[in-house]
Structures are given as C-alpha cells and as structure tokens.
Structure 1
Amino acid sequence: MARALDLVGERWTLLVVRELLFGAKRFTDLVRGLPGMSQNVLSQRLRDLDKAGIVRTRRLGPPVSARVYELTERGAALEPVLIELGRWGSRTPLTSGAELSVDALMLALKTTFVPGPDFDCELRFGADVFHVRSADGRLSLARGPADGARVVAEMDAKTLRGLVFGARPVAAAVAGGELRLTGETAVFERFSRCFPRPQPL
C-alpha cells in the first residue's frame, strides 16, 4: 500500500486518472474536468504519472495535430480501485455543491449501479458521447456512440445528475427543455432508476 501511495497518493493524482479512464484527453480537456486544480499542479501531476508509467502522451495526426494524455495498461488497471474508492466515498455526506465533470459522473454511475431491467442508451453531453448498457445485471459504459441504442438522450451533466441521484422525474426534465429524448422514453426511465444515491454513514 505504501508503494502504491508513493505513486498515486498525492492530492489530485487519482482525480487526474479518473478523468482519463474513458479515453485520451488534451490538457485543456483535463483543465475543464478539474476546475479546482491549478494548471501548474496539473502539469506536475501529469509529469509524475508519466514517470511512473501510469500515463503517456500521444500526438494526434492531422487535421487535429494535438498532444493528448492517456492511461497506460498499468494506469487503466486502477479502474477497479477508483470504483471501490468511489463507493466508499459516496457514503460520506456531501460538503460542497461542486458540479461533477462528465467523466466523474460516468464513474459515479459505475459506483452506484444496482441491477434492474435491461436498458441500452446513448448519452450526449455536447461533444461528449457515451454508450451505457445493462444486460443480465451487468453494466457496460464506454465513451463513443451506441450502435442501435434504443434511446438517445441529450442533456448536460447537471441534468443527468438530478435525474439519477436527485430523483427528478424524466418528464419534468423533458418539459423544462433540459432533456431531449429520441427513441423509447421508457428505456431511459429504466436507466435512470438503476443508480440510487447511497445512504450516508
């Protein structure tokens, strides 16, 4: 445990890993997902993670020609640790009303999932798109569009958080213009009920 904490125990380090769990990101994307973290600290954490073999950099080809950060195989192996840490932390009462980044919210779905009826949804948050599916009690969640999803939902992260953790009715979000559904509304409603907020300890 001490050796692990030497690598990932610094403040913000695991949150940087969290932001990269669903795929590579540019530095500006990481800044946006970690609004309380200074750019200098982020740069240092990325250098430390690179040195430890947890994160690597890659340059995208034309027409983008941007440098991105992504997890190595060793870094990706931290996912079950982050999920269990998230489950443990979710039982602690909230002390701030800070909004979750889209990637943080997706990991929160993984930490709170309780199997229910099957669903297959595409979630769109502007340019961020995720495919979330439950079949036979198992959840799969990945960045990218869904092939043949039964419902496509367009919203922001705050709206989804209110629907899945705040028990806001789907119909109210649709009526208010914060949620746009294409496909089977009942499938999205099934999805929204599978992530109960943990009871604080």
Structure 2
Amino acid sequence: MKLDKITNEASAPRERRYDDACGTALALEFVGERWSLLIMRELVFGARRFGEIRANLPGISANVLTQRLESLEDAGIVQRYRLPSPANVQVYDLTEWGREAGPLMRDLGRWAARSPRHDRSLFMSAASAMMSLQALIDRKRAAELPVSVAFHFPGEDFGATVTGGEILVSRGAIEASNLAFTGDTMAMRRTIYGKAPLAKDGAGGTLAFVGEADLARSFVDLFYLPAKIS
C-alpha cells in the first residue's frame, strides 16, 4: 500500500528566521509567507470581513487565510474587532503600523510591473486596482488637475481625490464628485491603462462614466504603465 505524503499548508506556522540584522530580513519574517502581503493589500483601504478578504484572493483556502490572519495579528500588523450595531460583525483591519506598509506595497507593485511576466489579463481585486492608481500616477500632471472621482465596482465603491500631485483613496461612496466611473476591474484596466476610447455607456468593455468627457480623459491620462525591462 502506497502512503501519500500530505502537506498541509494550514498547519502550525513554521518559524522563519534569517539570523540577519537587516530590516528587510525581519520584514520577510513578518510577511514572507504566501498570501500575507495580498491580505494586507485588501485591508489597505479599511476593514474587511473574513469572507470579503477571501473572495478577493482566488485560490486561498479558509484554513490558510485564518492562519495568515493570525500570524499577521501576532506580529502587530493586523487587528480584529467587532463593528457596532446594526452591523455587529467581526472585521479585520491593519493596525496603524501595518498601514505604514501601504506605500511599500505600491512601490513593489510598480517595480514588478516592469517585468515582461506581468500579465494584465489576470484577476484583479478592486483594492488592487485602486492601489495601482496610487502607484502609477504621473505626479507632475496630477499637480495640475485637482479632481474628485467616484469608482463603482460590482459590490464595492471607492472615492479618489487628486490633490497636490497625489491621489488619495478611500473605501465607500462619496457624496460629491466631478466624475464617476462604473464597471469591473478589467474595464478599468482597458480604460485607464489600455487607453481605450471613452464611452459614457461603457461600450467596448470600458468603464461607463458620468461627467465631462474632457475631464474624464484628462484623469485617465494621469496614469501609465512603466516601461518593461529589456
């Protein structure tokens, strides 16, 4: 009888130590396990329920997600708490220190996007799409275009404000905006990074939009993909 060796990724976490004083080595001890950084990405813009995190990480099991959340919580990166009534549900969020990793994740994503292996056709969560805007904005152009934009993805809304050459992103609907885009993250990539022709009704699989067409085009032109390495 052949015995199969079973590897359980969700078993007790293995202590990962590099015996290296470099802060990068310590960072890898915290977030070097598979899925850890992506979990943090999903929490960058605010608290999420367990099911919401898992839905935006295709391929992760409930057991592995539980383990990674516990490890990040033990490290002081993630916290969990219960929302007040009427929601009354447990959510996970980044701690203040954990949220400081947001710019690092954006810079890492921009760096990796230069690889020829970067495949824009793969799944992308709404949080990842909004983080890409922060990573790939042309800061010089953005300094000349103050604008407030609403993004309506399936089941999830975001607000984005361009000011002082930066784009500030928050989860949730915003009361007033100069522009509003509606569609999924693939439509967002076609519109913003593929520079597909704008259509108010989202024709051609692009984002539908409400607002002035010239302003919408100016906003789209704030973002670009970095050149690939040769």
Structure 2 counterpart of 1:35, from 42, 55, 58: 58
* Structure 1 residue 114 corresponds to structure 2 residue 138: yes
Check conservation: 1:121, 1:188, Cα contact below 8 A: no
Q: Which moved more, 1:7-16 or 1:130-139?
A: 130-139
Structure 2 counterpart of 1:75, from 63, 76, 98: 98
1:142 paired residue number: 170
What letter corresponds to residue 161 of structure 2 in structure 1?
A: R
1:168 paired residue number: 196
Q: Which moved more, 1:101-110 or 1:185-194?
A: 185-194
Check conservation: 1:131, 1:145, Cα contact below 8 A: yes
1:58 alignment partner, SS class: strand
Q: Which moved more, 1:120-129 or 1:92-101?
A: 92-101
Which structure 2 segments of 5+ residues have no match?
1-23
2:79 paired residue number: 56
Which structure has the higher relative contact order (CA within 8 Å, separation 6+)? 1
User: Structure 1 residues 200 and 172, CA, compared in 2 at 3 Å: closer, same or farther?
Assistant: farther
- C-alpha distance in 1 between matches for 2:29 and 2:127: 25
Structure 2 counterpart of 1:98, from 116, 122, 129: 122
Larger radius of gyration: 2
What's the TM-score, normalizing by structure 2?
A: 0.81
Following superposition, the deviation at residue 58 of structure 1 comes to: 0.9
Aligned length: 201
Q: Which moved more, 1:97-106 or 1:19-28?
A: 97-106
1:171 alignment partner, SS class: coil
2:176 alignment partner, SS class: coil
Check conservation: 1:120, 1:187, Cα contact below 8 A: no
Check conservation: 2:41, 2:127, Cα contact below 8 A: yes
Check conservation: 1:159, 1:173, Cα contact below 8 A: no
Check conservation: 1:131, 1:142, Cα contact below 8 A: yes
User: Structure 1 residues 157 and 59, CA, compared in 2 at 3 Å: closer, same or farther?
Assistant: same
Following superposition, the deviation at residue 109 of structure 1 comes to: 1.0
Identity %: 35
2:6 paired residue number: none
1:45 paired residue number: 68
- C-alpha distance in 1 between matches for 2:200 and 2:110: 29
What's the TM-score, normalizing by structure 1?
A: 0.91
1:152 paired residue number: 180
Deviations 1:63-108 (A, max 9, x none): 2221110000111011121111111111112354312100011111
RMSD: 1.9
Following superposition, the deviation at residue 61 of structure 1 comes to: 2.4
- C-alpha distance in 2 between matches for 1:179 and 1:10: 35
